[in-house]
Amino acid sequence: MWDYIVKSNAFNFLIMILFFVWIDSKVHFAALLNNFKNKVIENIEKSKAEKSTAHSELKSAKKAVENLDNEIKAQIETAHGHAQTLSEKILDETREKVEQITAGIQKAVESEEKTISGKIIAKAVQECVGLAQNNIITLLEQNPQLHEKYINESIDSLEVL
């Protein structure tokens, strides 16, 4: 019978069970399994919390993006309005500067005209005086008695004073 027990699977099975019990007592599989189970449960809970947080963040992101097109359009319209106003202001200021420059140029031209006109008149007067002087000299050379007559008239007018 001993041969039968040793050769049977039941005996081998019993030895294997005893071997597992002995290993379990040394390694504490129950504690390891329990620890592993707790870590898995903890990871599942962490994943659920992260999923919930991510879902909340997704909702808030969708809500933030929901009106993004309208906000962009509003900002573009506002920027366009500011650009239009700035453009008009620059154009008005440029027109004003052009008018000021034109007025300044006009004044400068008028002043230069007066200066040139004064110079031309002075030169003309000088030429006229020169011509008159030449005419008087020529007239006096041709008629020496006139020269004497003018000298006498000048002396008479001095005596009256």
Instruction: Write the pLDDT tens digit of every residue in 75-101.
Output: 999 999 999 999 999 999 999 999 999
What pLDDT, on the 0 to 100 scale, is given for residue 42?
A: 94
Torsion of CA 78, 79, 85, 90, to 10 degrees: 170
27-80, pLDDT tens digit by residue?
676 777 788 899 999 999 999 999 999 999 998 888 878 878 888 889 999 999
pLDDT score, position 2: 65
Please give the pLDDT value at position 145: 85
Angle, to 10 degrees, between the axis of helix 68-142 and the axis of helix 29-66?
40
Work out the pLDDT band at 152, boundaries 50, 70, 90. confident
CA 15 vs CA 21, 23, 25, 74, 79: distances in Å: 10, 12, 15, 83, 87
Single pTM value for the model: 0.41
Across the range 8-32, mean pLDDT stands at: 78
Residue 13 confidence (pLDDT) above 90? no
In this prediction, residue 83 carries a pLDDT of 93
What confidence category does residue 161 fall into, taking pLDDT thresholds of 50, 70 and 90? low
Instruction: Summarize pLDDT for 93-150 with one digit per residue, the tens.
Output: 999 999 999 999 999 999 999 999 999 999 999 999 999 989 888 888 888 888 788 8
Give the residue carrying structure tokens 């990871």. 43
